[in-house]
Chain A
Amino acid sequence: KNEVEQSPQNLTAQEGEFITINCSYSVGISALHWLQQHPGGGIVSLFMLSSGKKKHGRLIATINIQEKHSSLHITASHPRDSAVYICAAGGATNKLIFGTGTLLAVQP
């Protein structure tokens, strides 16, 4: 069993839909990271959180420490949101353990 698991692996949505990507982890963490990777592109940090909820524009990330679960929500999705979204668990040394990613395609 992977230490960081994401679901779903693939997600297709229509423009405007509300999207949720889930992440479960089995390791102790100092922070949970959500990252975005566009096809052929680099990796960009979206959120880093250790408790509660963070919001940036149309993106919202939540974490439940007791349940070892985090979610990334995208409101009013747009085709430019199409990318791979990666969850990563950060430990005491800031080394990251990555999930395998969720490939999101938002269709116009």
Chain B
Amino acid sequence: NAGVTQTPKFQVLKTGQSMTLQCAQDMNHNSMYWYRQDPGMGLRLIYYSASEGTTDKGEVPNGYNVSRLNKREFSLRLESAAPSQTSVYFCASTGQGVGTEAFFGQGTRLTVV
């Protein structure tokens, strides 16, 4: 059981380049999330998807777009990367109902130069 699989693990981009972070879960979870983690700060929510076909902005959505391709997959896209987007990105998913355990991907360390 793979849980939450996130790719790539590392990426270096030049300012202005675009990329997509991929996330897939095999637990039949409805809800999926993208967070970013920066030094000295807690993880912050970028976007989330409560179910297939729906997405909503989180705390820090500017500069990002997402796609909930199907129930398994939730991708995060940076259209024009900026140095401020240098961070570690985590995908997560939770199951049905309120107050369910969260499962996280291994993280993507992104550097924008």
A94 touches B102 (CB 8 A): yes
Q: CA of A96 to CA of B104 in the docked complex: distance in angstroms?
A: 12
B45 touches A96 (CB 8 A): yes
Within 8 Å by CB of B106, from A42, A92, A97, A100, lies A42
> A22 interface residue, CB < 8 Å from B?
no
Residue on A nearest B104 in the bound complex, by CB: A43
Within 8 Å by CB of B98, from A41, A44, A92, lies A92
> B53 interface residue, CB < 8 Å from A?
no
The residues of A that contact B40 with a CB separation of less than 8 Å are: 100
Q: How many B residues touch the partner, as a band?
A: 20 to 34
Interface string of A56-97 (1 = CB under 8 A from B): 000000000000000000000000000000101010111111
Give the number of A-B contacts (CB < 8 Å): 69
> A13 interface residue, CB < 8 Å from B?
no
B98 touches A98 (CB 8 A): no
> B90 interface residue, CB < 8 Å from A?
yes
The residues of B that contact A14 with a CB separation of less than 8 Å are: none
The residues of A that contact B75 with a CB separation of less than 8 Å are: none
- Contact flag A41-B106 (CB < 8 Å), given A31-B99, A93-B50: yes
Interface string of B10-37 (1 = CB under 8 A from A): 0000000000000000000001010100
Q: Which residues of B contact A (CB under 8 A)?
A: 31, 33, 35, 40-45, 48, 50, 58, 90, 92, 94, 98-107
State the 3 A-B residue pairs at the shortest beta-carbon distance, nearest first: A98-B42, A31-B99, A30-B99
